Amino acid sequence: GIQVEQSPPDLILQEGANSTLRCNFSDSVNNLQWFHQNPWGQLINLFYIPSGTKQNGRLSATTVATERYSLLYISSSQTTDSGVYFCAGYYGGSQGNLIFGKGTKLSVKP
């Protein structure tokens, strides 16, 4: 079936700690993207990462498409990193039907 699974579902960190979020996706899902939903509900695109590795400041992401997983790394976490992190991929040949995972809820404590 069509699946995007994320782990862990919840994560509590002390400010300054590092973390790795994982996303497993099924064969019918491709062109992975990572999003951060802040406490006000806004969805911010962090990475479009169908394969390979990208870095943006303290965040980086790696997708190994052949093994159907993607990882989001957060280094030196800050309280502003709190929120829900979603991975999502396009279904099949779709141009917009993004299938979202259930998200990882991250809380960074000062």
| Given 48, 55, 76, 109, the residue binding another protein (CB under 8 A) | 48
The reply on whether position 95 binds another protein by CB under 8 A is yes
The reply on whether position 56 binds another protein by CB under 8 A is no
Q: How far apart are CA 82 and CA 33, in angstroms?
A: 18
| Given 35, 70, 74, 89, the residue binding another protein (CB under 8 A) | 35
The reply on whether position 5 binds another protein by CB under 8 A is no
Q: Residues 45, 35: contact at Cβ < 8 Å?
A: yes
Helix (H, G, I), strand (E, B) or coil at 79: helix
Location of structure tokens 């303290």: 58
Location of structure tokens 């862990």: 8
Q: Which residues contact 31 (CB under 8 A, 6 or more apart)?
A: 48, 50, 89, 90
The reply on whether position 26 binds another protein by CB under 8 A is no
The residue (of 14 and 27) whose beta carbon lies closer to another protein is: 27
Q: Say whether the peptide bond before residue 110 is cis (omega within 30 degrees of 0).
A: no
The residue (of 17 and 98) whose beta carbon lies closer to another protein is: 98
| Interacting residue ranges for another protein, rule: CB under 8 A | 31, 33, 35, 40-45, 48, 86, 88, 90, 94-103
